[in-house]
Chains A and B, each alone.
Chain A
């Protein structure tokens, strides 16, 4: 009788050992190259390490929250640079996230139309930019958007004088304010949040940043289109068809039937968009190095530059953690705004839609059978 129990226990032990052996490589590598690094960087962010020797050596001192105060306090060049980086990236996020979501949704709806020919071709064309590297795309963008480049030639054909894209620091909203007669005087010139004047805050993205915004939309819309296509296919045609019989126009069908059912996917795309857009780095490091006039500096690039170029490692690490905080805060905020509404409304809505769809489907069947009888 003892035999089976012991083999079972033996096999459980073996499985336990095998389990740990199987996950060991992943645990070790992620531990050494993610967990330990983060702990080391936490220490560096509160130290005065200058990049010489090991940050764990005895000559390195604890400086408390000094590095964090320097970037968040808004004083001096360090504070202002961080403020500018936040402003630049904030406008980047505000433009890229809604636009890439709307465009990818639009493309997905278009390429899933049943009557459309050459679906595969269109999907390939829209997705292709997503597989290229940030380096290759940046090189291409620097060419397309140079002063006498393709974009400006195309604009010239439409009698528009194109700007000197990557060398133009003027903010697109700022140009509008200037036209309206506003300028950096009085209250607008006072230093505000993060040491940046209100006038600077309301400049909007610079023309150079607009080129980066367009690049982001160009390279990500295909990826998100695939997510929307998947969701649209999961919804299936029946609901749509039922609504069609009901006499709803294409727009009504989309607005009241399809869009509510896409809510979870929209949520996913917006979340991924927010997380991605706060991490712009490659394009800036290769394409502009933060120029012109620091209008394309982002927190990720500023963090890198502070550490690897200015050798202010503590400051660089502190910026990285503040950026982490921003991304976490954004996700929570978004969950709060979109997610809560989703949790309550979507189930209720889904149930309602479900009932409506069933009702319409039955009507459709009845209509068909009556036509068949006639």
Chain B
């Protein structure tokens, strides 16, 4: 009858769907397998890891790598340093970026446009060319090899200011105006009325700042050198280029790298929906 025209196309559809599914499974395997083998290898002995690189069963299974990591390297110290830097930088960025983003979105002040343009210019400077320049100033200010030198330059970022500004641009002014008529000052309006409404943008900022500062490497190698100030990235980076003498040390290196990935992985899985959706909202253009 009339249903006939739909025939041939429909019959092939399930086959194609399964083919796509199969291909994607194969690609997913390529993306996941490296991390699986990484974790498995961290529980192998060094000999086993070298001779049976492909094996997914440690033989014998041992936690030796992790014991060595915590007893024979400064892994605990690196964790502490990474935490200090990450927490302070994240808090600083969330606070200062949202302050500036709010001002650029809502407050009329002389020079606003100039500030806006300056931030745009700053954002377009590629980070890697700033390594030497940053060292020069940190050194000049006498904060080389200190937490101040590691943290202060990371404390704000232009991209974060724009994220907040765009968010404030998208929410109605009415609520704040009501608060202002009630006599609340600018800061109080911002702090107790506007900021709580900005939760989605703040979460984005927390994720980006945490991930950015936890994974930061190049800034720390130009802002500090003493081993007391090693972060996880610097410490594990040094392990990678042969920090612990003798052998290839693959189980220890891979264990060290796997452990340092856990915080960002947890953050990712906690806010997975948020991350996927934010990206959708961000590139509407």
Question: Of the candidates A15, A18, A317, which one forms a contact with B132 in the assembled complex, judged by CB atoms under 8 Å apart?
Answer: A317
Kindly identify, within residues 228 to 267 of chain A, every residue whose CB is under 8 Å from any CB belonging to chain B.
229-231, 233-234, 264-265
Given A268-B283, A371-B2, are A116 and B17 neighbors across the interface (CB < 8 Å)? yes
Kindly list chain A residues whose C-beta atoms are within 8 Å of the C-beta of B27. Answer: 107, 126
Question: Distance in Å from the Cβ of A234 to the closest Cβ of chain B?
Answer: 6
Q: With A16-B108, A139-B254 given, is the CB distance from A321 to B129 under 8 Å?
A: yes
Q: A132-B261, A286-B217, A307-B132 are in contact. Are A144 and B126 (CB under 8 A)?
A: no
Cα-based distance from A77 to B129 in the complex (angstroms): 22
Residues of A within 8 A of B20 (CB): 110, 113, 115-116
B134 to chain A, nearest CB (A): 5
Is there a chain A Cβ closer than 8 Å to B84's Cβ? no
Distance between B15 CB and nearest chain A CB, rounded to angstroms: 11
Which residues on the B side are within 8 Å of A122 (C-beta)? 24, 28
Are A285 and B221 in contact, with the CB atoms below 8 A? yes
- Nearest A residue (CB) for B1: A374
> Contacts A19-B107, A128-B31, A316-B132 hold; do A140 and B53 have CB atoms under 8 A apart?
no
> From DSSP, what is the main secondary structure of chain B's interface residues?
helix
How many angstroms from the CA of A17 to the CA of B275 in the assembled complex? 36
Q: A112 to chain B: closest CB distance in Å?
A: 11
Interface residues of A in 129-162 (CB under 8 A from B): 129, 131-136, 138-140, 142-144, 146, 148-150, 153-154
A18 touches B54 (CB 8 A): no
Q: Which of A23, A116, A327 contacts B24 (CB 8 A)?
A: A116
Given contacts A15-B109, A19-B103, A287-B240, contact A229 B280 (CB under 8 A): yes
- Pair B240/A286 contact, Cβ less than 8 Å: yes
Q: When A and B form their complex, what is the total count of cross-chain residue pairs whose Cβ atoms lie within 8 Å?
A: 280
Residue A170 interfacial (CB < 8 Å): no
Which of B100, B215, B237 contacts A26, CB < 8 Å?
B100
Given A44-B136, A286-B240, the answer on whether A131 and B268 have CB atoms closer than 8 Å is: yes
CA distance A142 to B140 in the complex (A): 37
Residue among B41, B129, B279 with max Cβ neighbours from chain A (10 Å): B129
Q: Given B100, B132, B158, B217, which contacts A41 in the complex, CB threshold below 8 Å? A: B132
Highest count of chain B CB atoms <10 Å: which of A16, A136, A317: A136
B67 CB to closest chain A CB, in angstroms?
19
Whether, in the assembled complex, B68 has its beta carbon less than 8 Å from a beta carbon of chain A, the answer is no
A307 to B155, CA, bound (A): 25
Check if A154 sits within 8 Å of B136, measured CB to CB.
Answer: no
Whether A38 contacts B130 in the complex (CB less than 8 A), given A144-B34, A148-B53, comes out as yes
A54 touches B (CB below 8 Å): yes
A14 at the interface (CB under 8 A from B): yes
Contact at A22–B100, with CB atoms within 8 Å? yes
**A residues near B13, Cβ cutoff 8 Å:** 115
Q: In the complex the two chains form, is B218's CB within 8 Å of A275's CB?
A: no
Please report the total number of A residues contacting B with Cβ < 8 Å: 98
Cβ distance A255 to chain B, nearest Cβ, rounded Å: 17
- The answer on a CB contact under 8 Å between A25 and B233 is no
CA distance A66 to B218 in the complex (A): 27
Q: Is the CB–CB distance between A136 and B100 below 8 Å?
A: no
Task: Identify the interface centre among B2, B122, B126, B222: most chain A CB within 10 Å of its CB.
Answer: B126
Residues of A within 8 A of B28 (CB): 121-122, 125-126
A10 to B103, CA, bound (A): 18
Q: Which of B154-180 contact A (CB under 8 A)?
A: 155-156, 158, 161
Cα distance, A49 to B240, chains bound together (Å): 32
B190 to chain A, nearest CB (A): 8
Partner of A14 from the list B161, B186, B233, B267 (CB cut-off 8 Å) is B186
State the CA gap A327–B126 with chains docked (Å): 8
Q: A34-B122, A135-B240, A316-B132 are in contact. Are A16 and B140 (CB under 8 A)?
A: no
Are A18 and B109 neighbours in the complex by a CB distance under 8 Å? yes
* Nearest B residue to A323, CB-CB: B129
Cross-chain contact of A19 among B108, B135, B138, B281 (Cβ < 8 A): B108
Selected contact of B131 from candidates A54, A149, A303, CB within 8 Å? A303
Chain B, 93-145, CB within 8 A of any chain A CB: 96-97, 99-100, 102-104, 107-112, 115, 118-119, 122, 125-141
Q: List 10 A-B contacts (CB under 8 A).
A: A16-B108, A20-B111, A26-B97, A26-B99, A26-B119, A56-B140, A133-B214, A135-B232, A229-B280, A268-B283
User: Which B positions have Cβ atoms within 8 angstroms of A?
Assistant: 2, 13, 17, 20-21, 23-24, 27-28, 31-32, 34-35, 37-38, 41, 50-51, 53-54, 96-97, 99-100, 102-104, 107-112, 115, 118-119, 122, 125-141, 152-153, 155-156, 158, 161, 186-187, 190, 211, 214-215, 217-218, 221-222, 232-233, 236-237, 239-241, 248, 250, 253-254, 256-258, 260-261, 264-265, 267-268, 272, 275-276, 279-285
